[in-house]
Amino acid sequence: MADVVQDPAWQPFAAYSGTGPGVLVSHGFTGSPGSMLPLARRLAEAGCNVECPRLTGHTEHWRDLVPATAEDWLRDLREPLARLKARSSTVFAVGLSMGGALVLRLAQTDPDLRGVAVINHALYFGNPLVPFAGLLKRILPSTPAIASDIMDPGVREPSCDRTPTAGVAQVYRLARMVRRDLPSLRQPLLILKSRQDHVLPLRNATRTLALAGSARKELVWLERSYHVATLDYDRDLIADTCLAFFQRVLREEP
């Protein structure tokens, strides 16, 4: 099936009308740019230059995601990151779930990235079968969708119809790389974590806070959201917290 989507929720978002910092925004595994639109738009309204791409293989159909790799997704982010660097003197990155792992990896490999904010990021997993996804994909190609873990009953996340096991294996590969190099992280780090996240365990926040090498590390608990917090009751709090974090980091620059 071709990797072509017409639904606006699946289209990349970009806004370059601001005079503030650049912000790269990444959605999560089986998700879409639509899950990040409220945040991306708030950042743009605040004067930031913003890019939120659609990651390779992410459509409504799970089979499109099967051949995608962690390297594909990192490349998907490096291209808009380069554009943001060309237009903004300072660039931050924000990611949800797997998107959080991706932007952490970018920060570990790109010292020019000024700071990182992660929302319910995916480094540690509650399902004990996740490490074996690379083997299980041969006998269990997909599992039920993990999307729309949202407290607000009136909101649904635009997402993939099922979860490809091959993709889970790639997320796990990415998470292992990021976890290994957390002590090397130097950029300021903001962690936003839902206390009620039915997809990823709380230790994603506590272990990352403990292991990251960043001199500035902040943890903010989200009390009124589930996993897809960017579409949930705390979406305005997330935007306000990210913007305030960016401003604090910018004020500390020499």
Known binding residues? 29, 98
Helix H or strand E encompassing 50: strand 49-52
The answer to whether the CB of 115 falls within 8 A of the CB of 249 is yes
Question: Token match 């930031």: residue?
Answer: 48
- The residue from 194, 225, 227, 234 that is catalytic is 227
Spatial separation of the C-alpha atoms in residues 204 and 32, rounded to whole Å: 22
The answer to whether the CB of 184 falls within 8 A of the CB of 108 is yes
What residue numbers does the annotated binding site for substrate cover? 29, 98
Spatial separation of the C-alpha atoms in residues 27 and 13, rounded to whole Å: 11
- The residue from 35, 88, 97, 214 that is catalytic is 97
Which string of DSSP letters, residue by residue, matches 14-46?
EE---SS-EEEEE--TT--GGGGHHHHHHHHHT
Active site residue 97: yes
| Helices 98-109/165-180 angle, 10° precision | 40
Spatial separation of the C-alpha atoms in residues 37 and 62, rounded to whole Å: 22
- The residue from 64, 149, 197, 234 that is catalytic is 197
Spatial separation of the C-alpha atoms in residues 187 and 245, rounded to whole Å: 12
The two three-digit tokens of residue 205, written as one number: 């926040």
Active site residue 72: no
β-pair type (115-119, 91-96):
parallel
* Active site members: 97, 197, 227
